[in-house]
Amino acid sequence: MKKGELYEKDDRILADAMHTMKNRISPIIAYSEMIQYGHVEPEKIPEVARKIGMCASSVNQVCSELTDIYSIRGNLVNKTVEKVFPYEVLQECFCTIESNMNPKKIKLVNRLDKSASVLFNVRMQSSIFMKLINNSMKFSPAGSTIEVSGKIVDGNTYEISVKDEGVGIDEAKVEDKLKNNTDYSTLSLENEVGTGLGLLLVKIILDKHQGTIRAYNNKNKGSTFVFTLPLYKEN
């Protein structure tokens, strides 16, 4: 996507972000006051706490996406590329998720090559992993598995796959979003609505590094998102 094309989306992006944050912050305040003033029966507190957590997670997602937009617009992504080991970045992402973002106890498997390195921005690498894995978790049942694997293609590219056992995707809509930068958001298994910007931002980040992304449904169940990054090469 060209720089001007991203600027043209500013009003929609900001409007979507503010709308989402307002719709998520209001329930957090309301639920918190209900608990504070004893308006929630003790046996219902865990369910209310779960709803507060879902709303807070959505707000956090919006903040992350706005940060990524700022980095892309300021061209910070290309200015700070370096030798990055995807395996190590993914391990850090898994630690973050396991510590406070995995209530469904989904098994996270890192099958990336420990020695493989790419020329990329380390924060953007983490952002891509978090967006794709969080998306997979939303549409995956409790106790299922998300596996991340990688392979070297044509000696110049590292191809990374994020495979889940969830409900699958609408391949036509995802393909349209990736090709034409259209909006695409659906309800998660917990009826949580995303901003629809995560996948778009992943594509924009990859475009700036000559990377690609595609998605398809698995033969048995779930879906797989595949993206490519340039291999790091010593001068």
Of 154, 130, 161, the C-alpha closest to 57 is 130
Which domains are seen in the chain, by residue range? Answer: 3-230 (3.30.565.10)
> Would you state the pLDDT for residue 187?
47
Structure tokens at 197: 């910007």
Give residue 174's pLDDT band: very low, low, confident or very high (50, 70, 90).
confident
Strands (E), the chain: 82-84, 107-111, 118-120, 145-153, 157-163, 213-217, 223-230
Total-model pTM: 0.75
Rounded distance between C-alpha atoms, residue 209 and residue 51, angstroms = 38
Q: Kindly report, residue by residue over 69-104, the tens digit of the pLDDT.
A: 666 665 655 567 899 999 999 999 999 888 877 888
DSSP string, 146-209: EEEEEEEETTTEEEEEEE--SS---HHHHHHHHHH------B-TT--B--S-HHHHHHHHHHTT
DSSP 82: E
Residue 9 has pLDDT above 80, yes or no: no
Residue 8 has pLDDT above 60, yes or no: no
